[in-house]
Structure 1
Amino acid sequence: MPCCDEPVEEIFIMSIRPKYASAIFRGSKKYELRRLIGAPAIPEGSVVAVYASGNVKSIVGEFRAGRVIQASPERVWAEARKPGTGVGEDAWNYIKGAKRAMAIEVVEPRLYPRPITLEEVRRIIPGWMPPMSYRRLEEGDPLLELVIKPLRRSLRERLRA
């Protein structure tokens, strides 16, 4: 348990289609857009672990949530579609019609030293299912403790080397 003024980092797992995950880690996609349906918004400064869905089916890396815009789809789209953000028309098709939407600025995208496949995760946590969109990982969550924290440690070690 952290003491006193030690910050508690919020960590989320988010499913992203492989082509968008690739664009995030290449640095060309600057915002990830989501419909807000029941789940709380991702706070600025949070860590977002990326599960690349589709044919990849692996936890591949993470990014830090920079600016987070929560608003109507029209307002989110007006901000996120600006030149250089890497957000295309398909993102508008995804969020239009929602009551609320969110744009998460992608900051410090980092690939893990190696991806962890869905099959590997299920060997550690039988029956684990990736989120349809995203979810917060609470302390004690097996995914956080047995998969994400070790991946983050190996990433920090690689960055120090």
Structure 2
Amino acid sequence: MFTQPSNILLLSIKPQYADQIFAGTKQVELRRVRTRLQAGDLVLIYVSSPERALVGSFEVEKMLVEDLPKNLNTFWHKVKEKAAVDRKIFDNYYQGASVGVGIFCKNIQRFRKPIHLDTLRKKKPHIIPPQCYRYLTHGELIWVKSMTQ
């Protein structure tokens, strides 16, 4: 299920966007904060309220980083076909941002058994779902893998 990526990122995603990722209609996750992700890295998807569970993963196909606001139109044209948002939502999201990040997804997998927040808190209290993102260790990834199969 998992390879040995350089970076493992636990990413909080709103339920509607996570559903679009798993459906294949959203192929790039948009962010306002730069990460150290690169092609081949692994992103674990934590779905925020009301689901509140670690539900799946994807491999990073490529990263796109643009300086904003000067490159906002360029960024939009590079992601618009794969971001599953319209221009108004895009512009509102990036209003006031200094950077636009696009994380292109591939090898998207939904876990057979999601790990709900209460289980995370009981069994691995140090793996706190982030408001934005958090890096995980390879040991934490092994634990996640064992809990989701």
Do the structures match in fold with TM over 0.5? yes
> Cα gap change, 1:28/1:118 in structure 2, threshold over 3 Å: closer, same or farther?
same
RMSD: 2.2
Among candidates 65, 68, 73, match of residue 63 of structure 2: 68
Once residues 135 and 121 of structure 2 are traced to their aligned partners in structure 1, the CA distance between those partners, rounded to angstroms, is: 19
Contact 2:5 2:42 in 1 (8 A): no
Contiguous gaps of at least 5 residues in structure 2 = none
Matches within 5 A, 1:84-95: 85-88=83-86, 89-95=88-94
* Identical aligned residues as a percent: 29
Once residues 23 and 138 of structure 1 are traced to their aligned partners in structure 2, the CA distance between those partners, rounded to angstroms, is: 27
User: In the alignment, which residue of structure 2 is the partner of 1:129?
Assistant: 128
User: In the alignment, which residue of structure 2 is the partner of 1:51?
Assistant: 46
Tell me the CA shift for residue 127 of structure 1: 6.3
Once residues 119 and 64 of structure 1 are traced to their aligned partners in structure 2, the CA distance between those partners, rounded to angstroms, is: 26
> Quick one: higher RCO (CA 8 Å, sep 6+), 1 or 2?
2
Amino acid at match of 1:91: F
1:150 aligns with 2:149: no
After TM superposition, the score normalised by the length of structure 2 is 0.83
Once residues 63 and 126 of structure 1 are traced to their aligned partners in structure 2, the CA distance between those partners, rounded to angstroms, is: 24
Once residues 41 and 93 of structure 1 are traced to their aligned partners in structure 2, the CA distance between those partners, rounded to angstroms, is: 25
Once residues 138 and 58 of structure 1 are traced to their aligned partners in structure 2, the CA distance between those partners, rounded to angstroms, is: 19
After TM superposition, the score normalised by the length of structure 1 is 0.77
Contact 1:41 1:102 in 2 (8 A): no
